[in-house]
Homo-oligomer: A and B are copies of this chain.
């Protein structure tokens, strides 16, 4: 048996344990009764520890070395060379962090998350402050396991967006902000859109059925997936043959659940599109949080909130929800689902203002990690910067610095940049797809998505994690990550929607 075969067998066993844990997590948020919580924590702890032990075992390192010698002659983009390259990267990330630190972070995150679930509704930042201080300390210690970094956030960013340094993200965000702020200003100077048609009470079952009908047309394969209900929608995968999504339905908001469904479906199409040859290896998953998010946002926004999409689907949704939408013109509905407004909550934000929320968090993360911002000052600084960016006062911490779970369930650093990278990339991939296949917009107007999906599968999905985000972007779009297509997309969509003047697009000077 070759070292490569032994390595694959070892990785398959680890993959089995990791995905077993994913099943337990899925159940935890979909069906588990409250009484199951305590034991579920223990069960997940055991599985996580087992897979971590087996992965970081020195034997894995020896097999990686031996298999690398066996496959030295194979080309860079072969499955084997890619497997060794990517597994070694992940292995080095894992072995460089002491198990004790990993365990400490996990235990601390559990405590911190529990405290947050009660402190947030109570608007009680003091209750989580010491926990957040410890999170910051542990996050720095995690980063310090990777000496030689350019910025202390870089190793943390590497966990989700490998290769994306703080300096690169800062430059990208600065360019994006310069382009976005004038558009936000211009739109918010107009009369607000009336979106009351979305707030008419719509039965859960009807909303559910319509969302499911759409994602079936997107090509989500229900023989290899399913949708269930949760509080916080997510996508998860137990194998390439079992890629599940969850959604939530609000009966008083008929767009909330629908776009959550399309969003998670985008993630799922990525995973379902991975080449079956990669099954059971670390390559059988999306390559980075940014590229993953590009797919959820592409299907949710560039497809699902486009005028062409609703040419086909508006009559369908009117049939599905006749009492709610029978008397609403398509154009009014289209405007409502694309309403732009300055608001407090990131997850409810429209696609134009959304990135400003992310940038705020990213900057605060860097400041905290650099020691420029103390946790105790976070609520005040959040309020000040938010009001400066959005012109909206923050009434409390619950809708301010405590609104997102991320800092209370994992490290500070690396948690948010992927969302905006994803938005930027969604337009970059979309533009490349349309350049290669100009018939895509016509198809979408007919409710067909095969050409778009197949282009994405061919150029992005099938590779799984064989290539880094930078490599995939270069391969699929012919150039590096850039904000141009995204800003062009927003302008070309919102200029007519809000009757903007060309002069209003003038970007801020980048400082």
A79 near B: Cβ within 8 Å? no
On chain B, the residues within 8 Å of A240 by CB distance are 39
Measured CB to CB, the nearest residue on chain B to A18 is: B43
Task: Known A23-B27, A31-B226; judge A16-B37 contact (CB<8 A).
Answer: no
A24 near B: Cβ within 8 Å? yes
A279 near B: Cβ within 8 Å? yes
Tell me whether B33 and A20 are in contact (CB under 8 A): no
Tell me whether B33 and A45 are in contact (CB under 8 A): no
Measured CB to CB, the nearest residue on chain B to A21 is: B20
* Bound Cα distance from A225 to B32, whole angstroms: 8
* Bound Cα distance from A272 to B420, whole angstroms: 48
Task: Known A24-B20, A43-B20, A46-B20; judge A35-B228 contact (CB<8 A).
Answer: no
Measured CB to CB, the nearest residue on chain B to A19 is: B43
On chain B, the residues within 8 Å of A46 by CB distance are 13, 16-17, 20
Task: Known A35-B224, A224-B35, A224-B36; judge A45-B16 contact (CB<8 A).
Answer: yes
Tell me whether A20 and B35 are in contact (CB under 8 A): no
Binary B-proximity of A242-274 (CB < 8 A = 1, otherwise 0)? 101000000000000000000000000000000
Q: How far is the CB of A9 from chain B (nearest CB, A)?
A: 11
Tell me whether B223 and A34 are in contact (CB under 8 A): yes
Tell me whether A36 and B228 are in contact (CB under 8 A): no
On chain B, the residues within 8 Å of A224 by CB distance are 33-36
Which secondary structure dominates chain A's binding surface? helix
- Taking CB atoms and an 8 Å cut-off, the chain A residues in 134-152 that contact chain B are none
Q: How far is the CB of A28 from chain B (nearest CB, A)?
A: 9
On chain B, the residues within 8 Å of A50 by CB distance are 17, 50
Q: How far is the CB of A322 from chain B (nearest CB, A)?
A: 24
What is the interface size of chain A, counting residues whose CB is below 8 A from a CB of the partner? 41
Task: Known A27-B27, A224-B33; judge A279-B19 contact (CB<8 A).
Answer: no
* Bound Cα distance from A172 to B45, whole angstroms: 46
On chain B, the residues within 8 Å of A40 by CB distance are 238-239, 242
State which of B19, B35, B226 has its C-beta within 8 Å of the C-beta of A39: B19
Tell me whether A223 and B35 are in contact (CB under 8 A): yes
On chain B, the residues within 8 Å of A37 by CB distance are 241
Q: How far is the CB of A45 from chain B (nearest CB, A)?
A: 7
Tell me whether B20 and A20 are in contact (CB under 8 A): yes
Q: How far is the CB of A246 from chain B (nearest CB, A)?
A: 12
On chain B, the residues within 8 Å of A239 by CB distance are 35-36, 38-40, 43
* Bound Cα distance from A21 to B40, whole angstroms: 12
Interface centre among A40, A45, A222 (most CB of B within 10 A): A40
Q: How far is the CB of A352 from chain B (nearest CB, A)?
A: 37
On chain B, the residues within 8 Å of A36 by CB distance are 224, 238-239, 241-242
On chain B, the residues within 8 Å of A238 by CB distance are 36, 39-40, 43
* Bound Cα distance from A223 to B39, whole angstroms: 14
Task: Known A40-B238, A238-B36, A279-B39; judge A16-B47 contact (CB<8 A).
Answer: yes
Tell me whether B222 and A33 are in contact (CB under 8 A): yes
Measured CB to CB, the nearest residue on chain B to A33 is: B226
Binary B-proximity of A30-64 (CB < 8 A = 1, otherwise 0)? 01111111111011011100100000000000000
On chain B, the residues within 8 Å of A47 by CB distance are 16-17, 20
A221 near B: Cβ within 8 Å? yes
* Bound Cα distance from A19 to B23, whole angstroms: 12
- Taking CB atoms and an 8 Å cut-off, the chain A residues in 214-232 that contact chain B are 221-226, 228
A12 near B: Cβ within 8 Å? yes
Closest 4 CB pairs of A and B: A39-B239, A36-B242, A35-B241, A35-B224
Interface pairs (20), CB distance under 8 Å: A16-B43, A19-B43, A20-B24, A23-B43, A33-B225, A33-B242, A34-B224, A35-B223, A35-B225, A35-B239, A35-B241, A36-B239, A36-B241, A37-B241, A39-B239, A39-B279, A39-B280, A40-B242, A42-B280, A50-B50
Query: What is A's interface to B at a CB cutoff of 8 Å?
Result: 12-13, 16-17, 19-21, 23-24, 27, 31-40, 42-43, 45-47, 50, 221-226, 228, 238-242, 244, 279-280
